[in-house]
């Protein structure tokens, strides 16, 4: 089992960090200072080795701004891709 964890760890870490990096781009594009507003945003492997993105804590102001942005996106027809 240790061999499985070590072989999947770096891949999971890389996948998670790439996802976190992608997640940071859109808020930056619309005006958030991601390094300040989302200080806890990072990717890592969780305890089971699954790639995970941690969003961290945000202020109520950041949460309100993000909510307003997402609501506007929905009004303009944005939706999650089918999986």
Domain boundaries, the chain: 2-57
Instruction: Report the distance separating Cα 21 and Cα 75, nearest Å.
Output: 26
CB 65 within 8 A of CB 38: no
pTM of the predicted protein model: 0.74
In the chain, what percentage of residues exceed pLDDT 90? Answer: 80
> Residue 60 — pLDDT band, cuts 50, 70, 90?
very high
Q: Which residues contact 56 (CB under 8 A, 6 or more apart)?
A: 38, 39, 40, 41, 42
Give the other-Cβ count within 10 Å of 32's Cβ.
18
Mean pLDDT confidence for 55-68 = 96
Question: Which pLDDT belongs to residue 64?
Answer: 97
Mean pLDDT confidence for 52-80 = 95
Instruction: Report the distance separating Cα 48 and Cα 4, nearest Å.
Output: 11
- Answer whether residue 2 shows pLDDT above 60: no
């Amino acid at each position: 089992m240790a061999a499985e964890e070590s072989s999947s760890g770096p891949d999971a870490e890389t996948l998670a960090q790439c996802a976190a990096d992608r997640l940071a781009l859109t808020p930056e594009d619309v005006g958030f200072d991601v390094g300040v507003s989302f200080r806890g945003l990072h990717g890592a492997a969780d305890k089971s080795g699954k790639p995970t993105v941690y969003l961290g804590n945000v202020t109520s102001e950041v949460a309100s701004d993000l909510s307003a942005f997402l609501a506007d996106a929905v009004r303009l027809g944005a939706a999650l891709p089918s999986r």
